[in-house]
Amino acid sequence: MNDGFLHDALIYLIAALVFVPIAKRLGMGSVLGYLIGGIIIGPFFLGFIGAEGKDIMHIAEFGVVMMLFLIGLELEPASLWRMRRLIVGTGIVQVTATTLLCFFCLVWIGFSWQAALASGLALSMSSTAIVMQTLREKGLSKTESGESAFGVLLFQDMAVIPILAFLPFLSIHAMHQVGSVNQSLMDKSPAWMQTLIFIGAVFVLVAAGRIIVVPFLRFVARVRLHELLTAAALFIVISAAYLMTVLGLSPALGAFLAGVVLANSEFRHELESDIEPFKGMLLGLFFIAVGASINFRLIFESPLIVFGLVFGLIILKAFVLFATGALSKLSFEQNTIFTLSLAHVGEFAFVLFSFIGQLGILTGRWTDIMMGVTAISMTVTPLLLLVNEKIILPRFGTKHAFSERKPDEIEERNSVIIAGFGHFGSTVGRFLRANGIHATILDNDSDKVDLLRRMGFKVFYGDATRLGILRSAGAENAKIFIAAVDHPQINQEMAVKAKAEFPHLKIMVRAKNRLCAYDLIDAGFESPYREALDTPVRLGVDTLVSLGFRKYTAYRAGQNFIKYDEASLSKLCEHRHNQDAYIFNAKEQISIIEDLLSNDLSANPSLNDRAWDSEA
């Protein structure tokens, strides 16, 4: 047994290490890499895991439990209230419309109304894990499509609880047709009692969280052992999951409720930081198990039914989602991302179909088919987003956008061009304008351009990654080009193109952090401007002043620190792919910078330092 566990763990890790880098290299994202890895090592291909009769999804159950605990932990009431329009409005439209359309289609192909309604509710779900991880990897989580998708997913996550409470009522007639021999408390009870048991279990978990769990965590926190608090959190999650298992419900639902209970406690952020390092690996475990659990034998036996359901479902959900996005006034590009990212069935469908099967609403064969449809649709989702990114938007999205709004005619000819006018670019632009320097400002978000114009900025709509747009903005005669786009890869690509086409331009490039700065240095930009440098140094300068340092002395120390840190950046860049060499040189550079700053401080400061302390 132990050897089997170690064998499976080893195979899972090898699959992740082999297939995820390949998928990332091909631009498919890590989620698809995990799914493909699971398919390859699963029982229907290489057969390294999941021998006949072995339930693959049990191996991933802990990953699902922890994933749903983290989702519940994110449901803070204040955040939900801020997103109430997206969550309630967009979420209700999507879930209700999808459920009704699925209901009518399934009744049409011969399902009973109970089975059609239960299946429609399950099929309306989408995968929070796949969507949020994929959008985050592509830098789309903060866009309109990303926020709309997150709102819909939050509503779906919260809707699971009332759906599970409602499902037993649908089993009143179905239980006469399909017997269930199960020893759980839920299966021994009539439908009305099952609903009461479910509601009671939810009430007990919430009440226990308020009365017992939070005081318990406070008691553990007083011991001041960090790992003990993490152990206590795991104990709470597993206890909640086990309670649901005893009652015949999904352990994942118990973990989700435990997260919701702790979302508004003072331990929320600490628990998130403790569990976050495991989140990616646990999600990877889940996705590998999903890939390995696809029943290809059933697919080969009934390929028309399975693939007909998969593609029919994706088209149906895409229709509903696109209409929902249009009602929310999303642009064509944002709406296609929103639509294709959610046009699949999510991990909660596994929970719901498992419960539907236990209640006898669906036969065992149809439950397996629906599980297979869910897994395949999850596998297809990253591919849909890839097709959208590589084929649909470049051909149709851009044409559609340009037919409505072509790039602006740029009549300005300034010495400075700023590409990207978000939080970073707008701060630079405002500073330059306040000092009498006018810049030609470009941004390819039409909604943002309209908003900025209403705020008094002269911003031109155009994609600065296209050399024709840069030429029309006067790049051939300008002196400085500031690359300030939010997405690091797009920003670097744009800067490289501008440098190659307009060698006379001084290129000043934004870097989100030190790692982005290393990539830019490798691309030939010696002094990238890191977001995470100046502001922390300014805070440190203010801290020194508050501790009694003269203002100019502290300011000079801050400027020297920036100068020394920038000098060390290019030296450390050479060693960043060799961890041992990098650590050695990083320690050396830190020591050198500290010595230089200490020597600066020990020197007699100029008398002019006192002028900075004068109120006049």
Q: What is the pLDDT of residues 331-379, one digit of tens each?
A: 777 788 888 888 888 777 877 887 787 778 888 788 878 878 887 887 7
Confidence label for 615 from pLDDT (cuts 50, 70 and 90): low
Among residues 597, 606, 523, 602, the alpha carbon closest in space to that of 567 is found at: 597
The boundaries of the domain holding residue 579 are 540-616
Bridge partners of 229, per DSSP, are none
Q: Give a yes or no: residue 12 inside a domain.
A: no
579: pLDDT strictly greater than 70: no
Total of domains in the chain: 3
Question: 176 or 496, which is more confident?
Answer: 496
Residues 420 and 482 in one domain: yes
Contact between residue 3 and residue 259 where contact means Cβ atoms under 8 Å apart: no
**How many CB atoms lie under 10 A from the CB of residue 10?**
12
d(CA 42, CA 30): 18
85: pLDDT strictly greater than 90: no
Q: Give a yes or no: residue 150 inside a domain.
A: yes
Average pLDDT over residues 389-398: 60
Average pLDDT over residues 255-283: 70
Domain closes at, from 493, 511, 529: 511
Contact between residue 279 and residue 67 where contact means Cβ atoms under 8 Å apart: yes
Q: What is the structure's pLDDT at 562?
A: 80
What is the widest separation between alpha-carbon atoms in the chain?
Answer: 94
Average pLDDT over residues 72-85: 66
d(CA 15, CA 82): 40
Contact between residue 119 and residue 102 where contact means Cβ atoms under 8 Å apart: yes
- Please state, in angstroms and as integers, the Cα–Cα distance from residue 30 to each residue in 135, 137, 598, following that order: 11, 8, 45
Q: What is the structure's pLDDT at 478?
A: 87
> Which amino acid makes up residue 281?
M
Lookup: tokens for 225:
């052992």
Residue 85 CA to its chain's centroid (Å): 20
* Exposure string over 142-178, b if 16+ CB within 10 A, otherwise e: ebbbbbbbbbbbbbbbbbbbebbbebbebbeebbeee
Among residues 478, 422, 488, the alpha carbon closest in space to that of 442 is found at: 422
Q: Give a yes or no: residue 2 inside a domain.
A: no
Residues 567 and 594 in one domain: yes
Least confident of 71-80, 112-121, 468-477: 71-80
Q: What is the structure's pLDDT at 100?
A: 93
Place of tokens 């702790």: 262
SS3 content of the chain, % helix, strand, coil (to 5): 75, 5, 25
129: pLDDT strictly greater than 80: no
Alpha carbon dihedral 431, 435, 436, 438, in 10-degree steps, equals -20
Residues 205 and 320 in one domain: yes
Q: Give a yes or no: residue 24 inside a domain.
A: no
d(CA 116, CA 310): 16
Average pLDDT over residues 281-295: 74
Residues 281 and 236 in one domain: yes
Sign of CA dihedral 305, 311, 317, 319: negative
587: pLDDT strictly greater than 70: yes
d(CA 16, CA 154): 28
d(CA 331, CA 337): 10
Q: Give a yes or no: residue 394 inside a domain.
A: yes
Q: Give a yes or no: residue 532 inside a domain.
A: no
Average pLDDT over residues 531-553: 81
Question: 604 or 43, which is more confident?
Answer: 43
Question: 281 or 541, which is more confident?
Answer: 541
402: pLDDT strictly greater than 50: no
Contact between residue 31 and residue 382 where contact means Cβ atoms under 8 Å apart: yes
Residues 173 and 257 in one domain: yes
Among residues 105, 114, 245, the alpha carbon closest in space to that of 169 is found at: 114
Question: 276 or 368, which is more confident?
Answer: 368
* CA angle (442, 445, 448) in 5-degree steps: 90
Residues 253 and 290 in one domain: yes
CATH code at 445?
3.40.50.720
Average pLDDT over residues 374-402: 66
Question: 143 or 173, which is more confident?
Answer: 143
Least confident of 86-95, 100-109, 126-135, 234-243: 126-135
Residues 390 and 314 in one domain: yes
Residues 243 and 123 in one domain: yes
Contact between residue 505 and residue 481 where contact means Cβ atoms under 8 Å apart: yes
Residues 109 and 143 in one domain: yes
**What are 535-538's contacts with CB under 8 Å, separation 24+?**
537/561, 537/562
Residue 219 CA to its chain's centroid (Å): 33
Domain closes at, from 351, 366, 399: 399
Domain closes at, from 337, 370, 399: 399
Residues 279 and 391 in one domain: yes
Residues 381 and 466 in one domain: no
Q: Give a yes or no: residue 29 inside a domain.
A: no
> Which amino acid makes up residue 409?
E
Least confident of 297-311, 411-425, 506-520, 570-584: 570-584
Which letter does DSSP use for residue 417 in this model?
E
Residues 179 and 92 in one domain: yes
Q: With 0-12 CB in 10 A as exposed, 13-18 as middle and 19+ as buried, what is 377?
A: buried
Confidence label for 513 from pLDDT (cuts 50, 70 and 90): confident
- Please state, in angstroms and as integers, the Cα–Cα distance from residue 136 to each residue in 407, 472, 480, following that order: 28, 33, 31
Count of CA atoms in the C-beta half-sphere (13 A) of 421: 30
d(CA 9, CA 7): 6
Q: What is the gyration radius of the CA atoms in the chain, in angstroms?
A: 28
Mean pLDDT estimate for the chain: 75
Confidence label for 59 from pLDDT (cuts 50, 70 and 90): low
Residue 92 CA to its chain's centroid (Å): 22
Q: What is the structure's pLDDT at 52?
A: 47
CATH code at 165?
1.20.1530.20
Contact between residue 520 and residue 530 where contact means Cβ atoms under 8 Å apart: no
Q: What is the structure's pLDDT at 182?
A: 44
Q: With 0-12 CB in 10 A as exposed, 13-18 as middle and 19+ as buried, what is 26?
A: exposed
Residue 502 CA to its chain's centroid (Å): 36
Instruction: Map residue 138 onto helix, strand or coil.
Output: coil
Among residues 392, 352, 277, the alpha carbon closest in space to that of 122 is found at: 352
Least confident of 137-146, 255-264, 564-573: 137-146
Among residues 181, 206, 202, the alpha carbon closest in space to that of 249 is found at: 202
Average pLDDT over residues 540-552: 82
Percent of the chain with pLDDT over 90: 1
Q: What is the structure's pLDDT at 104?
A: 92
Question: 81 or 559, which is more confident?
Answer: 559
Contacts for 256 with CB less than 8 Å, ≥ 6 apart: 68, 69, 71, 72, 157, 160
| Phi and psi, residue 461, nearest 5° | -80, 125
Question: 185 or 317, which is more confident?
Answer: 317
Among residues 285, 362, 291, 337, the alpha carbon closest in space to that of 115 is found at: 362
Question: 450 or 156, which is more confident?
Answer: 156
Confidence label for 324 from pLDDT (cuts 50, 70 and 90): confident
Q: What is the structure's pLDDT at 108?
A: 92
Q: Give a yes or no: residue 139 inside a domain.
A: yes
